[in-house]
Structure 1
Amino acid sequence: MAINASDRLFAQDSAAYDANRLKVLYKERRWTLAVHELDKFLAVSPTSSEALQARATCYIRLGKYEQALLDLNKAISANPSNLGLYSLRSSVAKKLGDDTLANADRLRAIGQKLNQAPFKPAGRLTGTKVNERGHCFATKYETRHFRFFSDSSSEQTSWTAESLEGFVCFVDQRVCRLRGAYPLTVFVLKDENAMNEFLRQSFGYQPKRSLHGLFFASANAFVTYTDSGFGTFTHELMHKVLSETVKELDYWAFEGIPTLFEKTYGYPTPSGWSFCFGYQNPWRLRELDKKWDSLSLTKIVQNSKTGDSSNESEERLIATFLNDNGNLDKYLELARLGKKNGFNTYLEGAFNCSLNGLEPKFRDYLAKIRSRWTELQEIPASKTCSSEGAFLKFKSENSRALTPILGR
């Protein structure tokens, strides 16, 4: 039996042979064995940027892009001036479908700086201690599309309003064109109890369960509370957007598509805001845990006709399935035109496939989610960052959880 050069080198005990071992392993394309050697070295020197880069290169050769990204993030933290690391991370980010990070690192690799232009507010503070619908709000802030009455601080109110203004402009340009009445009135109470009292007194609505927020189409108003989260704003806003822009929807989509925007992250740029959305929601996954193996696309579609709000998390799975397969735009366009392409639902029309035909694809999608169950529980709350640089740092810190389910 022939003995490879690397096998002879492994017979040596001296640490002086480490570099030679790696060179030979690289030459022989023995990537897994090289990773094993680097694991031992990094156990002793965990911040060695050279070793981290070498192991990332091996992972890339093995097609393990998520592990490669983790090593490159550590290597860049240890040696941020090494432009080669950014170039390598750019290629990995591209493989993982993260075009934002890929483009940013490409610019870094050629020595260009990220655009850090100062944020320019689109709205203005128009009042303090303002009475509206029988309640004295601490702050009033107005943008082109929103009138905020809030019990939050003026700083928090202005940032939320600016973020939501950026989001609705993003939706108008990238998701579906806006129609209907604006500005939308937004009421932000100090907590859930205060919100419930405001709903009873000002809208005659008695909440039957815990709510993060509620949109009233008849009043063109949205009611929520301070700590409900940015995802609540984007979710409820999409109820208004869809009701005014789309001709009709499948039953599941009335709640399913707005919930798709519960996980939204973004940042301002000189030319407008940039957002990414559609990530899994940890608490909704936990809600479905016990019945996960029995979930069926056809059953979810059928059950949605009852209008039962307890089906929301199941309906959201259809929305993420649609979006992760790149068919959200097609679905909304078909729904806007009222065309189902010969099928019974717009969902089937968007995939050009019957529900029965889609079942295997849907089950495979659920299996992929289940295989990443633990890391998906780490998906952070929706947020907006002050700059592209801050956003990229946030996304890098959460890269494992935010990696797309289907690698798009």
Structure 2
Amino acid sequence: MHPLVEYNLPQRPQWAIEGIPSFFEKFIGYRDNENLKLELGFQNPRRIRTLGNTIDKLDLHQILTQAEENYENTQNSKLRMVSVFLWKQGKLKTYIDLIRNDKKNGYPTYFEAAFDKKLNQIEPLWEKYLQEVKRNREAISRIPSSVVFPNKANYEKFKQSLQLD
């Protein structure tokens, strides 16, 4: 995934070098005849555990403005939280398209352009998202490694068993 991001998004911000590829590390789906149906955007239990009890204190501004690679053990988990946030807000594709086309639409960052809002207007959504993840940690801990079920019925049964908000 990294080579695809590097090649297709040369203008990407620092956080996206790991944040976007790590988004694709978790998928769950099912076989539908000859087709494979995949759902993305699931939290990764290992990453949520790594972030611990302070998960709802992650500083979006700090993550987005990091100027260089940070090798602390929680860093990639923080970056993945941003990409899943973009996905859950329906903005990940827009964000990637903005980077690919090098368009910020008058905003200082691609992130703000994706939301068509200043960062201080996005931060309440971020905080709500973090609180939701913290509240759902027990259910998130039951999400398995990426898996493809043999049929839609098994997939739906699994999703219901998660009991995510």
- Normalised-by-shorter TM-score class: 0.7 to 0.9
Q: Once the 2 structures are TM-superposed, how far is the Cα of residue 268 of structure 1 from its aligned partner?
A: 4.0
**1:176-228 CA distance string (max 9 Å, x none):** xxxxxxxxxxxxxxxxxxxxxxxxxxxxxxxxxxxxxxxxxxxxxxxxxxxxx
**1:222-251 CA distance string (max 9 Å, x none):** xxxxxxxxxxxxxxxx22222232342121
Equivalences for residues 5-404 of structure 1 within 5 A: 238-269=1-32, 272-303=35-66, 305-310=67-72, 311-386=75-150, 389=151, 391-401=152-162, 403=164
Question: What amino acid is aligned across from residue 306 of structure 1 in structure 2?
Answer: E
Residues 247 and 337, structure 1, Cα contact 8 Å, conserved in 2:
no
SS across alignment from 2:28 = strand
- CA change 1:356–1:269 in 2 (3 A) is same
Residues 30 and 155, structure 2, Cα contact 8 Å, conserved in 1:
no
Question: What amino acid is aligned across from residue 354 of structure 1 in structure 2?
Answer: K
Q: State how far apart, in whole Å, the 1-side matches of 2:13 and 2:31 are.
A: 33
SS across alignment from 1:275 = strand
Deviating above 6 A after TM superposition, structure 1's stretches of 4 or more consecutive aligned residues are: none
- CA change 1:243–1:271 in 2 (3 A) is farther
Residues 279 and 402, structure 1, Cα contact 8 Å, conserved in 2:
no
Q: Once the 2 structures are TM-superposed, how far is the Cα of residue 355 of structure 1 from its aligned partner?
A: 1.7
Residues 56 and 134, structure 2, Cα contact 8 Å, conserved in 1:
no
Q: Once the 2 structures are TM-superposed, how far is the Cα of residue 309 of structure 1 from its aligned partner?
A: 3.5
**1:19-43 CA distance string (max 9 Å, x none):** xxxxxxxxxxxxxxxxxxxxxxxxx
Question: What amino acid is aligned across from residue 280 of structure 1 in structure 2?
Answer: Q
Q: Once the 2 structures are TM-superposed, how far is the Cα of residue 358 of structure 1 from its aligned partner?
A: 1.1
Q: Once the 2 structures are TM-superposed, how far is the Cα of residue 263 of structure 1 from its aligned partner?
A: 1.1
Gaps of 5+ in 2: none
Q: State how far apart, in whole Å, the 1-side matches of 2:22 and 2:109 are.
A: 19
Q: Once the 2 structures are TM-superposed, how far is the Cα of residue 323 of structure 1 from its aligned partner?
A: 0.2
Q: State how far apart, in whole Å, the 1-side matches of 2:56 and 2:88 are.
A: 20
- CA change 1:256–1:323 in 2 (3 A) is same
- CA change 1:309–1:402 in 2 (3 A) is farther
Q: State how far apart, in whole Å, the 1-side matches of 2:163 and 2:15 are.
A: 25
- CA change 1:402–1:351 in 2 (3 A) is farther
- CA change 1:383–1:293 in 2 (3 A) is closer
SS across alignment from 1:266 = strand
Q: State how far apart, in whole Å, the 2-side matches of 1:320 and 1:327 are.
A: 10
- CA change 1:271–1:330 in 2 (3 A) is farther
Q: If you compute each CA radius of gyration, which structure gives the higher value, 1 or 2?
A: 1
Q: State how far apart, in whole Å, the 2-side matches of 1:289 and 1:276 are.
A: 25
Q: Once the 2 structures are TM-superposed, how far is the Cα of residue 384 of structure 1 from its aligned partner?
A: 2.2
- CA change 1:266–1:292 in 2 (3 A) is closer
RMSD: 2.0
Q: State how far apart, in whole Å, the 1-side matches of 2:127 and 2:102 are.
A: 28
